[in-house]
A and B are shown apart, each in its own frame.
Chain A
Amino acid sequence: MSSPSLTLPPHTPATARNRRLLEILGALAIAGTYIYLVLNQPADITGGPGSAAALIALSGFLVGAVLLIVAVLPTLPVSTLVLIPVALVLNIVLGQFVGSTLVPFYLDAIGTVLIAVLAGPAAGAATGALSSIVWSFFNPTVLPFAAGAALIGCLAGLAARYGLFRRFYLVPVAGFVTGIIGGVVSAPVAAFVFGGTSGLATGAIVSAFRSMGDSLLAAITKQALISDPMDKAIVFTLVALLVYALPRRTRLQFPFVRRHRVLAGQAAQPGNDELPGNAGPATPSTGQGS
């Protein structure tokens, strides 16, 4: 369903180069902001108004996320583009529900990781950033986390690209590592923009570290290192359960899945009905009547 258009001109090398430049600039903005915040550790977090650091974190991460969207969004095939709203609704509905309960998890990335596994790292990054921006329509506090969400989507796509979703036992490991990176990058946003976390359970963990005398950034980073890897391991596992249960016809619609044999796929040996790699967890679902 995503064949290249026969009637439209293909992307010229110049526009492709501009897009690549925007992607690199976006990644540099995010990385530069993070490095600046961690190296300088602005001393004014807990003394003084503390808003210079908040503004740097806010604008640097947001500009990076917007640049990534501008670079990636026009290149996505329409078949992927129409999936993004679906992923956003899954993120928002699950995230809003879990965020308000007393569990130190977020589970707000299921849709993002799903797109990343089916359509690749670029689509995953764009979905993560768009998810934060559209969600901020109902909850403006998630807006500053756009860069972290884009990073999660990109890393999930890379994990799928290099075959970590072919084996069920590798999936939580990939999620764990993604969570460590994502948590460390998002911690400065929580520390500098919010001066804490927005959930009650995560706030309790930060309080525990603060009571031991940690600085705010250190306490929030430690909390992120507790919550995020577990959270992403759960999210990756749930997404793996979902994509293993999708019928072959549906998952092979996606060129990314076919080209990189994301799910130990069938592109190499057509005509074979059994999937060799994931026969265990991919038992036919019994619950498909809707």
Chain B
Amino acid sequence: MRLHPLTALAAAGSTALITTAAACWPLSVAVGATAVGLSVVAGTARRMLPAAAAVVIPLGVSLLLLHGLFFPEGATVLASWGPARVTAEGLQFGAERTAQLSAAVLAMLLFSFSVSVPDLVAALSSRGVKGRFAFVLASTLTLVPAISARVQRIRQAQEARGLLIRRGWAHRVAAFRLQAVPLVLSLVDDAGTRAQALEARGFSSPGPRTSYREVPDPPLQRVLRLVLLLAAAAAVAARLVFPTAGA
């Protein structure tokens, strides 16, 4: 069964919320491992794992150093050098937070690396707020490679004209300006042309639209989405009513 993009989004979002609400490290580890397993099955692990590592590793190192070394609330001191005290409570807090955040990050990244962006855009309706949001999302994702190619071209052109990045802040700011001004200028100019083209094709007209791309949305998945959202809301409500349960 192919998942509708909104069902996948609801699954990822409610998993992240429920894991945060549960704040229980075995669950966090299980969710993270499941997300990695699913990405291996779906064949996206090769792209997803580096992206996840780029997010999770700095965060985890930062949290473990911060709470592992400096945790004034900790009582069980394992070691201390000068002002730094390694406490069991600090390490536990850092590790729990890292596990919890990694689970949420992996669940969300599993969604964004497995969803087909054209399907997602087609699933959001093509007018009103959702249509405009879909435009911003799709346009950003397609602009990233185009803009990095343009940055490359501008740098080559300026280097051909003698741009040399020397040491020192003044030189760096000057070099930034020499490259950023043509980039922003051409991007703003392009955007103006694009706005006229979109406007000429009735982008902001309120009437009904025809889409060539049909994304099947079986009734079972609609029910599933509703159940997932209700489960997430219930988990949040339960945590707010019993703030210290499971501590």
- A interface residues (Cβ-Cβ under 8 A, vs B): 1-2, 5, 7-9, 42, 44, 46-52, 54-56, 58-59, 69-70, 73-74, 76-79, 81-86, 88-90, 92-93, 100, 114, 118, 130, 134, 136-141, 143, 194-200, 202-204, 206-207, 210-214, 238, 241-242, 245-247, 250, 253, 285-290
Contacts and interface: CB of A to CB of B under 8 A. Distances in A.
B21 to A, nearest CB: 6
A100 B86 CA distance: 26
B229 interface: no
A188 to B, nearest CB: 15
Contact of A81 (B22, B135, B158, B177): B135
B195 A242 contact: no
Interface string B98-132: 00110011001100100000000000000011001
7 contacts: A79-B195, A82-B198, A85-B135, A207-B70, A245-B177, A246-B181, A285-B181
Given A86-B191, A134-B140, A52 B66 contact: no
Contacts, number: 230
B240 A78 contact: no
A183 to B, nearest CB: 18
Interface stretch (B36-44, B201-209, B216-224): B201-209
A2 B196 CA distance: 9
Given A1-B195, A51-B20, A78-B199, 11 more contacts: A8-B204, A74-B132, A78-B204, A86-B187, A141-B55, A197-B62, A210-B71, A210-B72, A211-B70, A242-B180, A242-B184
Given A46-B71, A89-B147, A196-B97, A78 B195 contact: yes
A100 B240 contact: no
A9 B24 CA distance: 54
Contact of B189 (A56, A59, A77, A250): A250
Interface residues of B, number: 90
Contact of B206 (A8, A44, A49, A206): A8
Contact of A140 (B96, B105, B244): B105
Given A69-B133, A285-B177, A1 B188 contact: no
B191 A79 contact: yes
A242 B185 CA distance: 9
B106 to A, nearest CB: 9
A195 B51 CA distance: 22
A44 B61 CA distance: 22
Contact of B16 (A139, A140, A195, A198): A140
Contact of A51 (B23, B157, B189): B23
Contacts of B184: 90, 114, 242, 246
B195 A52 contact: no
Nearest to B186: A290
Given A141-B55, A200-B62, A242-B180, A73 B192 contact: no
A109 B224 CA distance: 37
A140 B55 contact: yes
Given A82-B195, A140-B16, A203-B65, A88 B136 contact: yes
B67 A196 contact: yes
Contacts of B59: 141, 194, 196, 198
B177 A287 contact: yes
A153 to B, nearest CB: 14
B153 interface: yes
Contacts of A59: 236
B230 interface: no
B182 A289 contact: yes
A67 to B, nearest CB: 11
Contacts of A90: 184
A58 B20 contact: yes
A247 B185 contact: yes
Given A79-B192, A197-B62, A203-B65, A84 B136 contact: yes
Contacts of B24: 49
A140 B108 contact: yes
B240 A47 contact: no
A200 B61 contact: yes
A73 B132 contact: yes
Contacts of B191: 79, 82-83, 86
B236 A194 contact: no
B92 to A, nearest CB: 11
Interface string B15-33: 0110011111000000000
Contacts of A8: 204-206
A211 B105 contact: no
A83 B129 contact: no
B137 interface: yes
Contact of B58 (A7, A86, A134, A200): A200
B104 A140 contact: yes
Contact of B136 (A50, A130, A197, A241): A130
A92 B136 CA distance: 14
Contact of B62 (A74, A138, A196): A196
